[in-house]
Amino acid sequence: MTDTWKIATVDDAARARIAAARLAAAHGVSTVERTRLVTALSAQLRQSLVKGGSWVMTLHGTPPSADGGPGRITVALAAAANGSAGKPSWQASVAVEEPGRGESAARVPRDRKAFADALLSADEDTSRILDRLSEQEQLVSFHREELHQTNQGVLALHAELDAAGRVQRELFAAERAARTEAESARRRLTFLADASAALTASLNHEEILDRLPQLLVPGYARSVDVWLLDDDVRKRSPRPAAAVAAARTGRPQYAADRPGGLPGVDDLPPSALHPDQPLLCIPLPTRHAPLGVLTLTPPEDPWGPDDAVMLVELARRAGTAIDHAQRFEHNRDIAETLQRALLTDLPTTPGLGLAARYLPATHGLNIGGDWYDAFKQPDGGLVAVMGDVTGHGLRAAVMMSQLRTALRAYAVDGGTPGQLLTRLHVFLHHLQPDLYATAVIARFHPDESTVTWAAAGHPPPVLRTPGGGVRVLDAKPGAMLGIPLHQEIRDHTAELPPGSTLALYTDGLVERRAEGIDPGIRRLAEALGAQRTVDLDRDLEGAADRILDPMLRDSQRDDDVCLLLCHVGDTGAHPGPGRSTA
């Protein structure tokens, strides 16, 4: 379908515009596309009228194809030449999806009233477009408000996320700081525990003084000086005023050009002896007064408050360890002096040789209650004693001395071994109700070929016969001395031909924690049986050493060891028995 309009006046242009709009509407062109087409045509028509002359507008409509392809409406405008249209100066087209509804574009009213209605109704598309535009503007405004609200929510979310991130970073930083502080605290506590163990492992105060610098340098101090107030040699050297103040007041002092701010520590001006370096002077406390002063110079990193608290605690423990070591050394010296005084020479008796060994424990206070003794009775008999007071230290040594003295006093009046032990039992129970002892007494008499013995809670004597046979005199002993029990301790008698040897000993020789006492007694019997009779006759002292060596080879020596050998010789007087300690 093709329609043509000649345009020379405004009315012609209006009719052509109306025809194009109706044709597009008849073919189902959308309002928007139709309005665009008509608006573009109106602009070209206005330009053509301005230019003047005659123009020709051609409307060509192509329906949709049978295979579903879209149709088109084409509008062309060309100048009229020689009564016909020339080459189009403008052309536009729109696609159509449905065939026309039969209305002809040429049916444009020509009377003025109908023409005015048609012309005015041609702007209905514009009105619809404006309405739709208004709707779209409202929709855009609505979406713009939604977008604004969304943006506000996004901004608020970003602010919350930023605040959460800031809080999380602060928490991470606090966690790192707490972890670092916990690690530092763990390191200080570990150091304090290890240092305390090292300080209390020794009972020699000089060793403790030597260990303090080894523990503190370089982690907690550049240099360490320990000043003991009762040390006459070290007391003569000049001391910083801060150390003197610490000794006098019992409070830690910090001497530097600026306050240290350390908890529990007094600040003082710099030391005149060491003006260029800070000094931390901590007293070494005891129960009554400071024992001395520990003076430290700072390591590479200055001391913090926690370091100061830890160092003060370490000084307290060091002071306690030094005080305990000095008390131990004092008590040990007294006990050793007392025990050495009690280990008297053994008597000489015709036909009876004596050899003794005493070895103090190698751990702890090396003085215990073990003792041996041998003395004559008025009737010519000889009493050999082996005893052990429970415990160690000065108290055990004093009790041992009292028992030894009491036994000698009782023996002057005579009496058998069992009677003597019974009297000792009563004596100890009344003298020290909370202290106990074990003992064994053997009595030899030159007119008798037997030995009379009695034991109270003590390991049994071991007897070697002249032929080398060994037996343990394990007849039932009495209970320990001093226990709250009335007892009459019995005597026992064994044959003692010439060449026989009786061994008295304490449990430190035969007892091992892992196996008890019986295996040790068997080893002693084997060692005694391995000695030759001729060697026992000639060198009883050497025999004592030969017996001790295998017995002590695997011993921890955590208890005193006593051994007393009593050997009946084959002839005459035995050469000079005596006392030996090691």
When pLDDT is averaged across residues 266-282 and rounded to a whole number, the result is 92
How would you classify the pairing of strands 266-268 and 253-255?
parallel
Q: Indicate the Cα dihedral angle 346, 348, 350, 355, nearest 10°.
A: 40
Residue 95 pLDDT: 86
Taking only the tens place, the pLDDT of each residue in 361-401 is 755 555 667 889 999 999 889 999 999 988 766 677 788 88
Closest CA to 536 of 472, 463, 474, 473: 463
> Mean pLDDT lowest for which of 235-239, 261-265, 377-381, 550-554?
235-239
Q: What is the mean pLDDT of the chain?
A: 86
The first and second tokens of residue 95, run together, are 């696609």
> Measured in whole angstroms, how far is the alpha carbon of residue 140 from the centre of its chain?
67
The pTM (predicted TM-score) of the whole model is 0.53
Q: What is the pLDDT of residue 574?
A: 39
> Going from the N-terminus, what domains does the chain have, and what CATH number goes with each?
2-122 (no CATH), 202-332 (3.30.450.40), 343-573 (3.60.40.10)
- What tens digit of pLDDT does each residue of 544-567 get? 999 999 888 776 666 788 999 999
For 267, phi then psi, to 5°, come to -95, 135
The alpha carbon dihedral of 231, 237, 239, 245 has a sign of: positive
Least confident of 56-70, 201-215, 537-551: 56-70
How many angstroms separate the Cα of 450 from the Cα of each of 23, 152, 502?
159, 118, 11
Task: Give the pLDDT band (50/70/90) at residue 274.
Answer: confident
DSSP, res 458: S
CA separation for the pair 108, 13 (Å, rounded): 12
Q: Is the pLDDT of residue 255 over 90?
A: yes
The pLDDT tens digits for 147-199 are 888 888 898 989 999 999 899 889 888 888 888 888 988 999 999 999 999 99
